[in-house]
Chains A and B, each alone.
Chain A
Amino acid sequence: MSRTLGLIDVGVGNLASLEGVLDDMGVSVARVSTSEELSTMDSIILGGVGNFSDAMSRLNDSGLAKGLGNFFDSGKPIMGICLGMQLLFDSGYEGASEGGKATGLGIIEGEVVPLRPGAGARVPHVGWNQVRLSRSHEVLSGISDNTDFYFVHSFVANTVNPPHILGVTSHGVVFTSMVANKNAIGFQFHPEKSQKAGRQILSNFVEWAP
């Protein structure tokens, strides 16, 4: 029986390139917008651009936030990309009311804070940068230490539990660029925009049986 990978647009697009890469790899892909659809998927990728608070409101309104919690508990693979990775954490400050923070999916411990790299490094962090591997993981099979990936973001994960850190990147400050907890994995960079190495990660994810 063929396995279906569900794509959830956590923001406001764009999933076209992700869909294109997965199509090329021969993966059966379906867009998911309800928790009923979600429950029939074999794995899930959270993608799209937007801001943390708006994205969480949409996921709560559609019932997908609760659905994703159940999906995680069922042990099936979940990948978060960029904003999708950030939403896996407990909370985030982007777009939240003054001084407050919005609640995330709570799948991985940590919060999402503004990137403040100090003098000499610009925000947003846009472009190709290296990822230093903190530990091995099935989805990172074939990925060498210090491989370049494409980043475009202004917020970063903070106070991540060290065993969950898969890799870090330096841009004025060192931040967590890859995380994993059980059957969930997240990338601050865009594998679908990162040529061969990014494709390798997506292909490993499709084969992953946590």
Chain B
Amino acid sequence: MVRKRVIALVLHLAGRAVKTTNFANPLVVGDVARACQVLSDQEADEIFLLNIDPDESSSDSFFEVVLNVSRRVSVPLAIGGGLTSQALIDRAFSSGADKVVVQSLVERSPETIIRASKKYGAQSLVACLDYRESPPEESFGLGPEPVDDAILAKIKQVGSLEVGEILLQSMGRDGTRMGLDTLTALKAQRFSQLPIVVAGGAGNAEHLADAFKCGADGVAVGSLFSLGDYNPIRAKALLRNAGVDVRPGV
């Protein structure tokens, strides 16, 4: 069976690698290309590099960074952030993306995603869904018809878009290291046939193990690698000890 994936999540803002908390307050954590190269050498299973610059004109300089990164990493590279048209998706691939993360297109232009899927294959596209968790009393239970749950409705909608996997980002947990949203991971893997990657809140290896045991196929890790004393090698060694089937060291 395919291994569980520990993915390094790197955010790009104005030419630098940054880390946010609750999708705000970006803190510069280093150079993007160097960070990605180190994470690749430290055996991250994949790298997700997202541009969080709201300025549309940032894409030119971002794609230059992507080209540089793609030549320095030896693991798969997924690129996203601000890819709002077919032309920008094309540029992400031609700049060295192995996969492209689409986000606003899920709502605004599903037909663009379907076209991109015909061109590049569904397996090359990741749909990113950012969400805020509902208060506990509303999201309680794992019943067969959780229609009240906005994120589940979106997950089902993505199922018809011909993408290859789903990245779920909990905005409330981003940068907090309080633990991943295992409840949504559990629901998502029940309501979708696609591989599920969860992000937001990873603070130690136990948090990652919990998410994997709740059905996540991958966990995307930001602060833990960029600000903590963890690295992918250490995280995966601890996960193996916890009985999670991750790729052994090379």
A111 CA to B73 CA in the complex, in Å?
33
Instruction: Determine if A63 is an interface residue (Cβ-Cβ < 8 Å).
Output: no
- Write the residues of chain B forming the contact surface with A, with a CB cutoff of 8 angstroms: 1-5, 40, 43, 45-46, 67, 70-77, 93-99, 118-124, 164-165, 193-195, 217-218, 247-248, 250
CB of A128 within 8 A of CB of B247, answer yes
Interface residues on A, range: 35 or more
The 10 A-B residue pairs with the shortest CB-CB distance, nearest first, are: A16-B96, A20-B71, A124-B123, A128-B247, A127-B2, A128-B3, A124-B164, A129-B2, A13-B93, A193-B76
Instruction: Determine if A14 is an interface residue (Cβ-Cβ < 8 Å).
Output: yes
CB of A17 within 8 A of CB of B70, answer yes
Q: Which residues of A contact B93 (CB under 8 A)?
A: 12-14, 49
Q: How far is the CB of B113 from chain A (nearest CB, A)?
A: 15
Q: Which residues of A contact B73 (CB under 8 A)?
A: 17
- Write the residues of chain A forming the contact surface with B, with a CB cutoff of 8 angstroms: 11-14, 16-17, 20-21, 23, 49-51, 83, 121-129, 148, 150-154, 170-172, 190, 192-199
| B123 partner, pick from A16, A153, A171, A193, beta carbons under 8 A | A153
CB of B122 within 8 A of CB of A150, answer no
CB of B95 within 8 A of CB of A16, answer yes
Q: Which residues of A contact B124 (CB under 8 A)?
A: 49, 152
A70 CA to B247 CA in the complex, in Å?
40
Q: How far is the CB of B160 from chain A (nearest CB, A)?
A: 15
A199 CA to B73 CA in the complex, in Å?
12
| B248 partner, pick from A21, A50, A125, A148, beta carbons under 8 A | A148
Q: A17-B77, A129-B1, A195-B43 are in contact. Are A124 and B94 (CB under 8 A)?
A: no
Closest residue of B by beta carbon distance from A153: B123
CB of B5 within 8 A of CB of A128, answer yes
| A51 partner, pick from B121, B164, B250, beta carbons under 8 A | B121
Q: Which residues of A contact B164 (CB under 8 A)?
A: 124, 126, 152, 154
CB of B70 within 8 A of CB of A50, answer no
Q: Which residues of B contact A190 (CB under 8 A)?
A: 76, 98
The 10 listed contacts between A and B (C-beta, < 8 Å) are A11-B120, A14-B98, A16-B71, A21-B74, A49-B123, A125-B2, A127-B45, A128-B2, A148-B3, A152-B76
CB of A152 within 8 A of CB of B194, answer no
Extra 11 A-B pairs, beta carbons < 8 Å, given A13-B93, A17-B70, A122-B193: A12-B93, A14-B96, A16-B95, A16-B96, A49-B124, A50-B121, A51-B121, A127-B2, A129-B2, A152-B123, A190-B76
Q: Which residues of B contact A51 (CB under 8 A)?
A: 118, 121
Q: Which residues of B contact A123 (CB under 8 A)?
A: 193
Closest residue of A by beta carbon distance from B99: A152
A20 CA to B96 CA in the complex, in Å?
10
